[in-house]
Structure 1
């Protein structure tokens, strides 16, 4: 039987039901979510180009994120700090989960995949989470230029939507796992949902390490 993890945290919902909208307007993005602990990390497709940390790390954090999600942006310093604190013990994996409510998220996800194909996913990822990010086509190509990528080749990749299928696969995988919104994390398969304080991650990582990284 799958365990369930139930907490009250801010999260950007994947598809808020109509009856939730008034409440979300009063208390934005703060509600109780129940998520089934469905998957071990090995059952989630992992692209090495979208990972940070050693492949053999005992703890894997899988993030289902959206580049236009302010709560995802808020969580990035927490993830950076965790990678420093648990150097060699934690691997971070990014999965694209662009929400329909964020029109810039899908183009940004495809652009980040174009960057990944050129070996600079994380550098591009970090640019997308800077304050005041512009998600227009011109800006997405401009970010590639800031990383010294060939702008014309990058534009061709973006315009051809070369990585549309990969984004679709991530979204399908997330839905199959019951991912409710962004950010959602699986820590060795155990879900944490929302813009969590670093202590919540430390607790989950400690538990994973105590159980032998399984």
Structure 2
């Protein structure tokens, strides 16, 4: 598990949104070992989905790499969305560029972008520098019939998107990567999200969320 240092990326100056009374119950629901949520705006499924997995990840984080196959398997087995947010930590030298690269591949197709993320996690231990990442990304692109340009983000648009995701994580209250939730479209009764503190219980939490949302229909 990668934890945040006191001096994160340059956008760390963005202030956290104060904890509202309406969200305090949700923060408590996460449990004493979970994230104290300050802004739950991001903790909901995409439109049309009842249940989803939401993750804030750093592509250079070893624990994110360990979690990656489980999350992919769960999303595929349950056929639920897996919403992946970038939260690259400042002490990881190539994670930010990897997130920018992934968004470039997203422009080709979301599947290729997610396949790139999965491939980076699978090869993470062999990537020790930006040069390694560049060579890996070029090969990945070639294997998919794509030419990776020298300047992946000439306008800075993809960089801004990664920074926006990082800022979103700050507003949520992210303290480590990966941070994972099972979220629902619930508006009444039980809190609409629960943090996956123990990943061995991921399937149990998804089962409970699906059951709860069926019962509320």
Q: TM-score, normalised by structure 1?
A: 0.71
The answer to whether the 8 A contact 1:63-1:93 is kept is: yes
In structure 1, what is the equivalent of residue 97 of structure 2? Answer: 107
In structure 2, what is the equivalent of residue 181 of structure 1? Answer: 176
Q: Quick check: 1:118 aligned with 2:108?
A: yes
Distance 1:207 1:165 in 2: 36
**How many Å apart are 1:149 and its aligned residue?**
1.2
Which of the residues 167, 170, 185 maps onto 1:172? Answer: 167
In structure 1, what is the equivalent of residue 82 of structure 2? Answer: 92
Q: Quick check: 1:147 aligned with 2:144?
A: yes
Which of the residues 191, 194, 208 maps onto 1:190? Answer: 194
Which of the residues 97, 119, 133 maps onto 1:127? Answer: 119
Which stretches in structure 2 are left out of the alignment for 5+ residues?
Answer: 8-31, 184-192
The answer to whether the 8 A contact 1:55-1:91 is kept is: no
Q: Quick check: 1:58 aligned with 2:50?
A: yes
How many aligned residue pairs are there? 175
Q: Which has the higher strand share?
A: 1
* RMSD, matched Cα: 2.8
In structure 1, what is the equivalent of residue 35 of structure 2? Answer: 35
**How many Å apart are 1:160 and its aligned residue?**
5.2
The answer to whether the 8 A contact 2:86-2:166 is kept is: yes
Which stretches in structure 1 are left out of the alignment for 5+ residues?
Answer: 1-10, 18-31
Helix, strand or coil for the counterpart of 2:181? strand
**How many Å apart are 1:143 and its aligned residue?**
2.5
**How many Å apart are 1:125 and its aligned residue?**
1.1
**How many Å apart are 1:121 and its aligned residue?**
0.7
The answer to whether the 8 A contact 2:138-2:147 is kept is: no
Q: Quick check: 1:78 aligned with 2:70?
A: yes
